[in-house]
Amino acid sequence: MPRLVMKFGGTSVADLARIEHTAGLVKREVDRGYDVIVIVSAMSGKTNELVGWVNDTSHLYDAREYDAVVSSGENVTAGLMSLRLQQMGIDARSWQGWQVPVHTTSAHGAARIEEIGTENLASKFEGEMQVAVVAGFQGLSPENRITTLGRGGSDTTAVAFAAAFGAERCDIYTDVDGIYTTDPRVAAKARKLDKIAYEEMLELASLGAKVLQTRSVELAMRYKVRLQVLSSFEDKPGTLVCDEEEIMESNVVSGVAFQRDEAKMTLISVADRPGIAAAIFGPLAEAGVNVDMIVQNISEEGRTDMTFSCPINQVARASKAMEDAKSAGSINYHALDADENVAKVSIVGIGMRSHAGVAQQMFKALADEGVNIKVITTSEIKVSVLIDRKYLELAVQSLHDAFALERAG
């Protein structure tokens, strides 16, 4: 029998009525003759609540216990979905990550899937089982502990199962009806795309578009999984993530992404000498700080300012790493300034490879709105800027307008 993976995010399984509705979508595919692997998220808000409980119990928590707690939301929905399907006369059962098993690395809270054992599920599909309902987001470490795949990780579970089981398609059901030119909750003019290239989606996801977890797009690209994002609320076509060659549309910029919770840190007056960058960014990496943008200012009299950005919730860790390095004598600076009121906005498009002047057009659009740019980074297919958070919505909307994203190219 052909196989299909159907993934339901938090809002799609938010309560018993939603679970009943989505079970109906699964039944429709079973009736069409598919063996279906359903991947479920926790009910919406549940994972946040669990994370909150861990933080309130222990600030510097043991990441293994964080995973034990935070993975549990998915177990509930997997069981409830199976029960609902059984009531519809479908032979369904739930699977927790360890039962499959989903083998991961031991990086708790951000584990990567290494291998999915396919035998257990495959033999059940050969028997009576019509639907396997798998708890997303979770796996098993080499040390036999429960792991989680990072926030939004059920998307990655879904794509990994589609690849491992050779599914015809991987359908990601969510609360929007596809992938848009930008978050439709921020820009009313956002336009739904019929198709988007893996590479563009990868860039958008890694720059903050949370509609798909970055790692899920990476896996889909590597294993050529036909990945579709669609609504569990409305019955209409979604967006297909596919090869560049399958796409006719030719906008230079295809989307705008943003990350709201960024911080900009500046080490004021560090000695400008060979090895200074390594002396700063080595300890930051060791402390687990995800440094994103970096700027070194022009030096005067042998001293310079070094600026970098990181997620706002890593500011304390970054500050401590710098203070420790200063005490140890490996770096020296006059002051460390943390600006916690910034956000990152990025434009993405494969067309930028062959078009000059895109960055300039972006800077002009922001200047016209009076938005000051604090840091810039570019790559072949994106330009990112750091701006004051209060201008985030304005910046996203004005860039959407400036590149006429409401119109298909």
- Residue 185: which of ligand ADP, Mg ion, ligand ASP, none does it interact with, CB under 5 to 8 A by kind? ligand ADP
- Residue 238: which of ligand ASP, ligand ADP, Mg ion, none does it interact with, CB under 5 to 8 A by kind? none
Looking at the Cβ atoms of 204 and 321, the one nearer to ligand ADP is: 204
Q: Between vectors from CA 152 to CA 147 and to CA 157, what angle results, nearest 5°?
A: 60
Nearest approach, Cβ of residue 152 and ligand ADP (Å)? 5
Nearest approach, Cβ of residue 157 and ligand ASP (Å)? 8
Looking at the Cβ atoms of 15 and 323, the one nearer to ligand ADP is: 15
String of contacts with Mg ion for each residue 137-166, x by CB under 5 A: ---------------x--------------
Among 11, 12, 47, 266, the residue binding ligand ASP under the rule CB under 6 A is 47
Are 100 and 117 in contact, with CB atoms under 8 Å apart? yes
Q: Backbone phi, then psi, for 241, in 5-degree steps?
A: -95, 120
* Residue 22 engages ligand ASP in binding (rule: CB under 6 A): no
The stretch among 70-78, 103-111, 177-185, 376-384 that binds ligand ADP (CB under 6 A) is: 177-185
Q: Which of 208, 211, 206, 207 is nearest to 193 (CA)?
A: 211
Total Cβ atoms within 10 A of residue 108 = 22
Contacts (CB under 6 A) with ligand ASP, residues 66-105: 73
Contacts (CB under 6 A) with ligand ASP, residues 145-204: 151-155
Using CB under 6 A as the binding criterion, the count of chain residues that bind ligand ADP stands at 19
String of contacts with ligand ADP for each residue 2-31, x by CB under 6 A: -------xxxx-------------------
Total Cβ atoms within 10 A of residue 357 = 10
- Residue 176: which of Mg ion, ligand ASP, ligand ADP, none does it interact with, CB under 5 to 8 A by kind? ligand ADP
* Residue 180 engages ligand ADP in binding (rule: CB under 6 A): yes
String of contacts with ligand ADP for each residue 201-220, x by CB under 6 A: --------xxx---------
Q: Between vectors from CA 305 to CA 300 and to CA 306, what angle results, nearest 5°?
A: 140
The Cα–Cα gap between 175 and 232 comes to 7
Q: Which of 212, 84, 199, 197 is nearest to 153 (CA)?
A: 212
* Residue 139 engages ligand ASP in binding (rule: CB under 6 A): no
The Cα–Cα gap between 23 and 17 comes to 10
Which sign, positive or negative, has the C-alpha torsion 113, 118, 119, 123?
positive
SS in 3 state form for 269-334? Answer: EEECCCCHHHHHHHHHHHCCCCCCCEEECCCECCEEEEEEEEEHHHHHHHHHHHHHHHHCCCCCCC
Tokens coding 263: 């911080």
The Cα–Cα gap between 291 and 263 comes to 10
Looking at the Cβ atoms of 9 and 97, the one nearer to Mg ion is: 9
Question: Hey, which residues does 171 pair with through a beta bridge?
Answer: 6, 228
* Residue 137 engages ligand ASP in binding (rule: CB under 6 A): yes
Residues that bind ligand ADP (CB under 6 A): 9-12, 41, 152, 174-176, 179-180, 182-185, 209-211, 255
